[in-house]
Chain A
Amino acid sequence: MSTIIYGIITSVILALYAVGFSLTYGISGLANFAHGALYILAGYISWNLMNYLGLPFLASAPLAVVACALVGFIIYWGLLLRVRGIPLSELVVTFAAGVAILELLTWRGFYGISYSLPVFVEGGVEIWGVAVDAQRLLVIAVGVALVVLLYLFVHYTKIGLAFRGMAQNERTALSVGIESDWIGALSLALGSALAGLAAVVVLPLGMMESSVGYEVLIYALAVAIVGGLESTPGMVVASFVIGFGQRITASYIGPKWMIIVPLAAIVLVLAVRPSGLFGKFKELEERV
C-alpha cells in the first residue's frame, strides 16, 4: 500500500519537475537546460528572503517564483535571442546559464545540510494505514491544480492561444500578428516560473543544495524524453511510469538504485522508440 501512495507522490513530484521544461519545449522548441538551476534558484531566493529580510514563507515563495520567471525572460532576451533557431547553440547557452547559476550558488556556500524551507502545512493524515504528511498531499493538490489551470490557460486566454499557435505553425502565427520572440520569451518565463513553483512546494520535503539542480534537470529530461517531447498526456504518463519504477526499485531492490530508473528509462526509450511513448509521428491522414 505504501508503495502505491508514495509512488503517486513521487510521480506527481516528477511531473512538477518536468511540466515547465515540457511547456517551454512544446511552445518554442527550446530545450531549457537551465531548468534545474532555476528550480534550485527559487529555493535559494526564498530562503534568503526569509532569513535576511524576515519575510514569511507565504510571501517569499511567490516572490521566488516571480524572480524565476524574470530570470527566464532575461536568459531569453539577453542570451538566447542571438542564437535562436540553432538548436545546438540554444542548448549550450541554456546549459551554460544553468551551470553559471548553480556554481554561483555553490560559491555562495549553498550546499551542505544547513538549508531547508519550511512546510506550508503542518501535520499529517493516515490513508489506508499509511502515514502521509500534509505537505506531500499539498504537492499532489498543486500538481493536479496545475494541470487543470494550464489546460484552461492555453485554451482560453489570448497568450495561451498564441502559445498554441506558435507551437503549431510559427509562420502562420506571425502572419496574424503574433510576435515569435515575444512569445518565445514568455514561454521560457512561464516554464521557469513553473520550475520555481515546483521548487517551493517540493523543496520543503527535504534539504536543499545547489547540486539538486542537476538532479532535477535529469528527472525533467527523463520525463520529457520518455513521454515524448511536446506531449502533455505523455508527460503525465511518463511521470507515473518513472515514479512508480523508482518506488518499486526502492522497495524491492534498494533505495540507492532509484537514480538508475530515470537514466535507464532514457536509454531504453531512445533505443526502442526515440520519439517517446506519446511522441508525435506525423499521422498519415494529416499529410494532405
Chain B
Amino acid sequence: MLQVRNLLVFFENALAINDVSLEVSQGELVAVLGSNSAGKTTLMNTVSGLLLDIQKKEQRRGGERITIMGRVEYEGREIIQQKPSLRVKQGIVLCQERHPVFRDSDVLENLRIAGYLYTRREVKEGIEKVFAIFPVLRRLRKRRAGLLSGGEQQMLAAGIALMARPRLLLMDEPLLGLSPLLQAELAASIKEICRQGITTLVTEQFARPIMPIIDRGYVMENGRLVFSGNREELMDNPEVKSAYLGV
C-alpha cells in the first residue's frame, strides 16, 4: 500500500532522513521505533505531505531550506510532490504527536471540523464510529478540548484523524506521555482501528506498550532504519531489547 524508497530529507545541510526504504501492506499495523530526534516525525510528515507545507512556508520567509529526495508511492502512484490536502482525499491521514486538538472547541465541534471533506451525513456516521471506538469521548462531547486530560486529548486527536476517513493512518507517538494504564487502553483502541480495515503506521519511543499490538516494526536511529522484522524478531533482538524494551 505504502512504499518509501531511498528517502532523503535535509534540513539545510543536516540529514534528517538518511536513505530510508520501508513498506506497509494493506491491513498491516507497522511500528517505527526510535529515540528522540531519530527522524520519526520527519518521516511521518514526509509521508503525510505536511513537510511540503512546512517547506513552502520556510521558503516564503527565507528560513530553513528543506530538501526532499527519493520516492514515496501510495497504491502504486508517486505522491512525493502532492500537497497534503490531496493526500488526505486519497486516504493518507496523519495524527500528529502531542495530541494537537482544537482547544477552544468542544469535543463534538472538533470532530465536526475534522469532517471538512465530507457531507453532513457522513460526518454524523463518522462521529458515531469515533464514539464507538472511544466511548469516553461520547461522555465528554460537550467539554472544551483544551480542558481534557492528556489521554483524552490523545483519543480526541485519534478521533479527529478518523473523521478524515483514513485508509492509511499515520500515528506519530500516540502513547507519548500517557500513564501505562492509558497506554494499554489506547494501544487496544489502535488495534481495533486497524482491525476495522485501516492500515496503520505508528511511531513510538518505547516499544513495550506498542509491542503487543503490532505486526511488524522498524528501528530508526539517526535518520536510518537499522533493523526491521516482525514482532518476534524485534523482541529477540538484543539491541532492541536493551534500547527500547528496557530489559
Whether the pair A85, B164 counts as a contact (CB closer than 8 A) is no
Q: Knowing that A177-B84, A285-B147, A286-B147 touch, tell me 9 more A-B residue pairs with CB under 8 angstroms.
A: A85-B60, A86-B60, A165-B113, A169-B101, A172-B101, A174-B85, A175-B93, A176-B114, A179-B83
A-B pairs with beta carbons under 8 Å apart, 16 shown: A82-B60, A83-B60, A164-B104, A165-B102, A165-B116, A169-B101, A171-B50, A172-B96, A172-B100, A172-B101, A172-B102, A172-B160, A176-B114, A176-B117, A178-B116, A285-B146
Partner of A174, one of B84, B95, B103, B163: B84
Cβ of A66 to closest chain B Cβ, rounded Å = 25
The yes or no answer to A249 lying at the interface (CB within 8 A) is: no
Q: Contact size class for A? A: 20 to 34
Whether the pair A169, B102 counts as a contact (CB closer than 8 A) is yes
Cβ of A14 to closest chain B Cβ, rounded Å = 25
> Which chain A positions have C-beta within 8 A of B95?
175
Complex: A168 Cα to B102 Cα, angstroms? 6
> Which chain A positions have C-beta within 8 A of B96?
171-172, 175
Partner of A177, one of B57, B117, B150, B153: B117
Q: Contact size class for B? A: 35 or more
> Which chain A positions have C-beta within 8 A of B161?
175-176
Whether the pair A177, B89 counts as a contact (CB closer than 8 A) is yes
- Contact A176 B147, CB 8 Å, known A168-B103, A288-B153: no
Residue from B85, B88, B94, B96 with most neighbouring chain A CB atoms (10 Å): B85
> Which chain A positions have C-beta within 8 A of B138?
none
The yes or no answer to A137 lying at the interface (CB within 8 A) is: no
The yes or no answer to B61 lying at the interface (CB within 8 A) is: yes
* A/B pair count, beta carbons within 8 Å: 94
A interface SS class: helix
Binds B, one of A118-126, A154-162, A215-223: A154-162
Interface 0/1 of A174-189, CB less than 8 Å to B:
1111111000000000
Whether the pair B117, A175 counts as a contact (CB closer than 8 A) is no
> Which chain A positions have C-beta within 8 A of B104?
164, 168
- Contact A175 B88, CB 8 Å, known A180-B53, A285-B147, A286-B146: yes
The yes or no answer to B112 lying at the interface (CB within 8 A) is: yes
Interface 0/1 of B89-123, CB less than 8 Å to A:
10001111000111111000100111111000000
Complex: A83 Cα to B163 Cα, angstroms? 32
- Find the A residue at minimum CB distance from B163: A176
Complex: A86 Cα to B85 Cα, angstroms? 23
Cβ of B4 to closest chain A Cβ, rounded Å = 18
Partner of B113, one of A164, A283, A285: A164
The yes or no answer to A273 lying at the interface (CB within 8 A) is: no
Residue from A82, A85, A177, A288 with most neighbouring chain B CB atoms (10 Å): A177
Cβ of A79 to closest chain B Cβ, rounded Å = 13
> Which chain A positions have C-beta within 8 A of B160?
172, 176
